[in-house]
Amino acid sequence: MKILVFSDSHGNVDHMTLAVERESPDRIFHLGDGWQDAERLRDMFPDIPLDQVPGNCDFRFTEPAVKLVQLGGKRILLCHGHTYRVKEGLMDVGYAAREQKADLLCFGHTHIPTQEWAGESLLLNPGSIGYWGKPTYAAVKIEDGRLTADLRKLV
């Protein structure tokens, strides 16, 4: 299973579309700051399941800030990251991952691609797919019970 992870699209649906067409994923995660962008992407690729969480710029106060997805025997937490103060460091998301026994915790908000282990949990920030200069995203694979992640540049 291949999952594309996007965050911080900020109105740039074209970049996400290009990545989806290039990668042919089985699933998509959108980590906020582009709620409507994710909805447009869902409309464009209705056969690809899409999970999303709101970011600090989405103003979706009734939507849960954190979502747990279970795929291929792996526990994956999705959040934007602002509620865990990720711009100040990864300690809070590391604790959240440990608390939820997450194999993977995906977050955004900083626009900086990051891949770091916190104990048994992989903390993954795909960066910003909406960034016009150097858009980035992540590709996660779950195969034979093993989870791997790669940070990728769109251009």
Sheet order of strands, 114-118 included: 66-71, 74-79, 104-106, 121-125, 114-118
Residue 133: what pLDDT?
A: 86
Q: How far apart are CA 126 and CA 121, in angstroms?
A: 16
Amino acid (1-letter code) at residue 56: N
pTM of the model: 0.96
Residue ranges of E strands in 10-84: 27-30, 50-52, 66-71, 74-79
Query: In whole angstroms, what separates CA 56 from the centre of its chain?
Result: 15
Q: Which long-range contacts (CB under 8 A, 24 or more apart) does 112-116 make?
A: 113/138, 113/151, 114/90, 115/149, 115/151, 116/90
Mean pLDDT by 10 residues, the chain (155 residues): 98 97 98 97 98 96 95 97 94 94 97 95 97 94 96 93
Q: How far apart are CA 79 and CA 77, in angstroms?
A: 7
Residue 10: what pLDDT?
A: 96
Residue 132: what pLDDT?
A: 80
- The answer to whether domain 2-153 has CATH 3.40.50.1820 is no
